[in-house]
Amino acid sequence: MNLLKKRTIFWIFALALIFSAFSPVIDWGFFAHRRINRLAVFTLPIDLIPFYKKHIDYLTDNAVGPDKRRYAVATEGIRHYIDLDVWGTFPFKMLPRSRVEASRSYTEILVLNEQKDSIKLFGQQMELRRDGSLILKGNNFQQFFGRDSLFIDQEDYDRFFYEKIYNPLYEKEWPIDCAILKNYFDRYDFVLPCDKAIAVDTFVEHGVLPYNLVRLQGNLTRAMEAMDSDLILRLSADMGHYIGDAHVPLHTTSNYNGYQTDQIGIHAFWETRLPELFADEQFDYFVGQASYIEDPVSYYWEIVLNSHSLVADVLKIEKELSRNYPKDQQDCFVARGTGAMQNIPCEAYAEKYHLLLDGQVEQQMRAAIKAVGDAWYTAWINAGQPDLSRAHREKATTEDEKEEEMLEKTFFLGKILGRKH
C-alpha cells in the first residue's frame, strides 16, 4: 500500500472518530422511543384513540423531548434512571416507594454556626425507636446541643419535613432558613445555634425514575380534567419516553454503561444498536389493548424491578460473547444519523448478541408499548373519561418556540448536563 493511500485511510478514520465524539447518543435511540409512543396509540379504546391518533405525529416526534432536555436542564438526567443496586440487593424491599418518604429518609440539613462549626441533622442521622420516636444523633451534638442525642416525635417531624423542608424539584441542594430550624427545635426546648443551613438530598443523584412516573401519572390526569390539550400531549409524550427508559435494564443500575465490568458502550449496544437493526423485520408489535392501572406506585416499581432482574444477563451474555468472538470483528465504523461515522458493534456481532438474548429487547419494547398505553388510558379513566375531542390544541406560543429552539441548540452542542446515561 503506497504512502498516499495510507495517509488517506488514516484521515478518514481520524475524521470518523472526531465526528462520532460529537454525535449525541440517545437512550433507546430516537428510533425506539418514537416507535414506542406511536404504537402505544393503537392500544387505546375506541373512545380515546381518536384524540391520540389525531396527534400521533406530535407524540412520535416529541417522544425524544426529555432526552433533549438533558442537554439544557441539570435536574433532567436523574428522571431517566434509578441505580437500584446502590440501595442493597434485589428485591430492594426496604427502599421507600414514596418520593416524599425517600426524600425524608435521605435529606440531611447541614447547619453552620457563627464560628463555622458544622452539624448534620435529620436524614441518616435519625434512628426510629419502637415507641414511634426518633433518635437524632451524630457528630458535634455535644457542641451544638450539650448532649449526645435528641428525641423527637416521628409524626411531628414528618409534618415539619413536608411543610418546611421537602423540595419536589429533584435538586440536590437548596438553602434552608435558620429561623425555620430554630422554631422547630424550640418545640423541644433546645436552642439551635444556626448562621447558615443547607438541605442536601443524598437520594436523587442515584435516580428517581419510578417516582417521576408516579408524579407524571397524576399530572396527566389533572391535565385531562382541565381539558388542557397542549399539556395532555406534552405529558403523554414525556410519559412515553420515561416508561420506555424504565424498560431498559441498564437504566436501573450504577453499572449503566459497563464501566464496572470493562464493557463500555454496552448501554447503546442494547438499547440503540439492536432495535435499529432488528425491530423492523423481526419484532412483533401486537400487544393487545391498554389496561387500567389500579396502583400506579406498585405498577411502575414492578416495571423497574423486572428490568433490573435482567441486568445480570445483559452483562454476562455480552461479556462471554466478547471473549469468544474475534476481536477485530466486534466493532465497525458505520454512518448513522446525519451521516457521521461512529465506531459501533458490527452487524454480525450484534446479531449474535441479539440471538443469545433470546428476544429480550423485543420483549421489553413490547412491554413498554403496552405500559405507555396503560398510562394514558388510566389517566383518562381517572379524569372521568372526558370527551377529548372538545379539547383543542392551540398554536405554539412564542415562548414555546423559543424553548424548542433552545433545546435544539443545546442538543446540537452535545454536552449533557449530569452523567451520560
Strand 133-137 vs strand 126-128: parallel, antiparallel, or unpaired? antiparallel
Q: What value does the mean pLDDT take over residues 91-101? A: 81
How far apart CA 208 and CA 214 sit, in angstroms, is 10
Q: Are the C-beta atoms of residues 194 and 180 closer than 8 Å to each other?
A: no
pLDDT band (50, 70, 90) for residue 59 = very high
pTM of the prediction?
A: 0.86
Q: What is the pLDDT of residue 1?
A: 46
Q: Which is higher by pLDDT, 89 or 189?
A: 189
Here the cell at position 225 is 380534567
Residue type, 385: Q
pLDDT at 408 over 60: no
- Among the listed residues 213, 188, 223, the one whose alpha carbon sits nearest the alpha carbon of residue 383: 223
Q: Which CATH class is domain 15-83+207-413?
A: mainly alpha
Predicted pLDDT at 72: 83
Cell of 266: 454496552
DSSP E strand boundaries for 138-195: 149-153, 173-176
d(CA 62, CA 408): 12
Task: Let me know: does 161 contact 126? Beta carbons within 8 Å.
Answer: no
pLDDT at 17 over 90: no
pLDDT bucket at 88, cuts 50 / 70 / 90: confident
Is the confidence at residue 407, as pLDDT, over 90? no
pLDDT at residue number 16: 37
The strand order across the sheet containing 149-153 reads 126-128, 133-137, 149-153
- 196-201 vs 173-176, strand pairing mode: antiparallel
Domain ranges of the chain: 15-83+207-413, 99-205
- Top pLDDT among 147 and 296 is at 296
Rounded Cα–Cα distance for residues 347 and 340 (Å) = 17
